[in-house]
């Protein structure tokens, strides 16, 4: 089985929701079995102020970080990592490795010191926004005329100073290009597809895909059915494969990765703002245990074993090594 680094997962949100319902050891009992069944050996687990708690993001993120800390203390099979060396050590020890990220930075308000506290917790990757417009930038549902703010530029600079990965998924187009003009190294779009195949503001134009590749960064393929196609009849594994083929042909396999964004486990009130109900993932890829289905579909489409290794984990680890160290 091809091993996988999943560049975007909301598992910490699912963990918090279940711990608030009285469950414990959720990571080991519910999430790790599915991930390991799918060949996922590690990934980027994000802190996200899920609706309706996005109205008080700082409180929600603090609550989620506490839940994550408690879960990791209870789980002997998973470890929070802060560098490529720690990833390699975790792999050698057979541990599931977690690189912490932030899906939006509304929780820091207007304070760089709060960003520093995120870093001190272990966060090594961040998006500036979720879909909202905040003090840093404008997200996919924000005002299209608004982009990166002056404070947002300070945040990007601080992230680069601290060797954090800058993630442009969820930004609107103007904010995307503003961030591209501000960065000096590889960036990622951790969970976005090709807008040429699915006209959706969460997907990326060919020019955006080229720009990410020019930084040395990568794009993580997203299994959300609405980002695969606006047509329900085309929300298929085969159409999802076409996104991989398109991006690979446009910028090369070196800049292609996984960011599946499986979130079938989230409470409905967290997903109704962007999902029309039911499982949000492409049929056939209902959860993380099904990732081998996609890998095999890519193989049938002509990707070699070496290319699949690059897409599945090597490209993410390359960028982590280059940016985080």
Owning domain of residue 245: 4-323
Structure-token pair, residue 157: 């600079």
- DSSP-based three-state secondary structure for 82: coil
Total structural domains in the chain?
Answer: 1
Structure-token pair, residue 112: 């760089």
Taking the complete model, does pTM exceed 0.95, yes or no? Answer: yes
- Which domain CATH number covers 288? 3.20.20.140
Q: How far apart are CA 159 and CA 105, in angstroms?
A: 12
Residue with tokens 């597809």: 193
Non-local (6+) Cβ contacts of 65 within 8 A are 47, 121
In a structure prediction context, what are the per-residue pLDDT tens digits for the chain, which is 325 residues long? 789 999 999 999 999 999 999 999 999 999 999 999 999 999 999 999 999 999 999 999 999 999 999 999 999 999 999 999 999 999 999 999 999 999 999 999 999 999 999 999 999 999 999 999 999 999 999 999 999 999 999 999 999 999 999 999 999 999 999 999 999 999 999 999 999 999 999 999 999 999 999 999 999 999 999 999 999 999 999 999 999 999 999 999 999 999 999 999 886 666 556 666 678 999 999 999 999 999 999 999 999 999 999 999 999 999 999 999 9
Structure-token pair, residue 114: 């709060």
Exposure string of 104-141, with b = 16+ CB inside 10 Å and e = fewer, is bbbbbeeeeeebeebbebbbbbbbbbbbbbbbbbbbbb
DSSP structural state of residue 30: I
Whether 184 and 164 have beta carbons less than 8 Å apart is answered as no
Q: How far apart are CA 304 and CA 125, in angstroms?
A: 29
Q: Transcribe 188-228 into DSSP letters.
A: EETT--BTTTS--TTSB-HHHHHHHHHTT-EEEE--BHHHH
Whether 164 and 116 have beta carbons less than 8 Å apart is answered as no
Q: How far apart are CA 199 and CA 190, in angstroms?
A: 18
């Amino acid at each position: 089985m091809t091993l996988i680094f999943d560049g975007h997962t909301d598992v910490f949100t699912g963990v918090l929701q279940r711990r608030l319902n009285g469950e414990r050891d959720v990571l080991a009992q519910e999430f790790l079995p599915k991930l390991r069944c799918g060949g996922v050996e590690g990934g980027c687990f994000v802190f996200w102020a899920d609706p309706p708690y996005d109205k008080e993001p700082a409180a929600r993120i603090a609550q989620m970080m506490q839940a994550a800390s408690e879960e990791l203390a209870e789980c002997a099979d998973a470890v929070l990592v802060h560098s490529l060396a720690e990833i390699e050590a975790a792999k050698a020890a057979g541990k599931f490795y977690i690189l912490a990220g932030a899906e939006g930075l509304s929780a820091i308000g207007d304070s760089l010191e709060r960003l520093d506290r995120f870093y001190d917790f272990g966060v090594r990757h961040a998006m500036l926004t979720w879909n909202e417009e905040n003090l840093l930038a404008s997200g996919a549902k924000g005002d299209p005329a608004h982009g990166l703010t002056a404070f947002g530029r300070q945040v990007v600079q601080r992230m680069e100073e601290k060797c954090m990965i800058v993630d442009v998924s969820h930004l609107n187009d103007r904010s995307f290009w503003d961030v591209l003009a501000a960065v000096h190294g590889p960036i990622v779009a951790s969970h976005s597809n090709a807008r040429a195949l699915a006209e959706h503001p969460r997907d990326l134009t060919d020019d955006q895909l080229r720009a990410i590749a020019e930084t040395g960064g990568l794009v993580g393929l997203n299994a959300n059915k609405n980002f695969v196609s606006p047509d329900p009849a085309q929300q298929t594994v085969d159409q999802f494969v076409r996104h991989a083929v398109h991006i690979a042909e446009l910028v090369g396999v070196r800049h292609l990765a996984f960011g599946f964004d499986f979130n079938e486990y989230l409470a409905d009130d967290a997903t109704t703002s962007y999902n029309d109900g039911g499982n949000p993932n492409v049929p056939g890829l209902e959860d993380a245990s099904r990732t081998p289905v996609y890998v095999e579909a890519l193989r049938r489409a002509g990707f070699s074993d070496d290319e699949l290794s690059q897409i599945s984990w090597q490209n993410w680890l390359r960028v982590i090594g280059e940016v985080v160290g």
